[in-house]
């Protein structure tokens, strides 16, 4: 594959990743939020495959496979089972309204591009132009976490943030060592098990997954 063409494809996938981050930020339905997270994982997988094929970084093929299995298959399946078992409401409550959230998101994107510009100029990878988008995805995922009152959307926001960090690593240095990636994947899976137990405990105690109920524990 010719490098300019590969770079264009990577930039296109990065733009899709950013659009999916904005879609997740404004989404009110948990089922749609999980599907968008799976699409984000698929986009990340395709981007990693293009980088691996165009640069000859063979370890990225393993990274792409791990990303597909974990973030497109396993985690969405686990999240779907959780929301069915918990019988959670489909609508997601936001702490601030959607238009304000979008405006804050746009400001964060501008900030991310300005912060990433001097760093991307030092990078020697064909993906260096996407570093700003990767940082923007991280900030948008963090914004989604702090503007949601339910536990499940916050967990999805945390997972989306990890997607942004992985994309940033691929953009800056062609990915992380496989030992680190497997360690992160294991941490994510263990974390999902712990959070699943945590969700059931919250639901049993308060009959809701609204994390604002946890403030009552401080008063008891």
Q: Cα–chain-centroid distance for residue 162? A: 5
**pLDDT recorded at residue 40:** 92
Phi, psi of 175 (to 5 degrees): 90, 175
Q: Global pTM?
A: 0.78
3-class secondary structure for 129-149? HHHHHHHHHHHHHHHHHHCEC
Model pLDDT for residues 54-84, shown as the tens digit of each residue: 777 777 788 888 889 888 888 888 888 877 7
How far is 208 from 220, CA to CA, in rounded Å? 18
Q: How confident is the model at residue 88 (pLDDT cuts 50, 70, 90)?
A: low
* Residue 106 to residues 27, 93, 102, 142, 151, Cα–Cα distance (Å): 16, 21, 6, 14, 25
Tell me the per-residue pLDDT of 165-220, one tens digit each, with 9 for 90 and over.
888 777 666 655 554 555 555 556 656 665 655 555 555 554 554 545 444 444 44
The mean pLDDT of 86-115, rounded to a whole number, is 81
**Residue 22 pLDDT:** 92
The percent of residues in the chain predicted with pLDDT above 90, rounded, is 12
Contact 27, 33 (CB under 8 A): yes
Give the pLDDT confidence score for residue 214 in this predicted structure.
47
Instruction: In whole angstroms, give the CA distance from residue 23 to residue 81.
Output: 22
């Amino acid at each position: 594959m010719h490098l300019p063409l590969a770079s264009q494809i990577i930039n296109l996938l990065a733009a899709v990743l950013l659009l999916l981050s904005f879609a997740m930020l404004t989404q009110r339905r948990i089922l749609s939020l999980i599907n968008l997270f799976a699409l984000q994982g698929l986009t990340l997988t395709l981007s990693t495959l293009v980088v691996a094929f165009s640069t000859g970084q063979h370890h990225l093929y393993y990274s792409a496979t791990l990303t597909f299995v974990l973030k497109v298959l396993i985690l969405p399946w686990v999240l779907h089972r959780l929301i069915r078992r918990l019988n959670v409401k489909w609508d997601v409550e936001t702490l601030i309204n959607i238009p304000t959230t979008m405006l804050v998101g746009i400001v964060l994107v501008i900030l991310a591009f300005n912060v990433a510009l001097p760093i991307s100029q030092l990078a020697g990878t064909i993906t260096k132009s996407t570093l700003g988008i990767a940082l923007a995805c991280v900030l948008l995922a963090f914004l989604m976490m702090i503007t949601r009152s339910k536990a499940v959307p916050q967990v999805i926001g945390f997972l989306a943030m990890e997607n942004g960090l992985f994309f940033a690593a691929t953009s800056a240095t062609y990915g992380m060592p496989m030992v680190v990636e497997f360690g992160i994947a294991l941490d994510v899976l263990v974390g999902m098990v712990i959070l699943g137990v945590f969700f059931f405990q919250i639901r049993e105690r308060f009959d809701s997954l609204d994390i604002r109920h946890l403030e009552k524990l401080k008063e008891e």
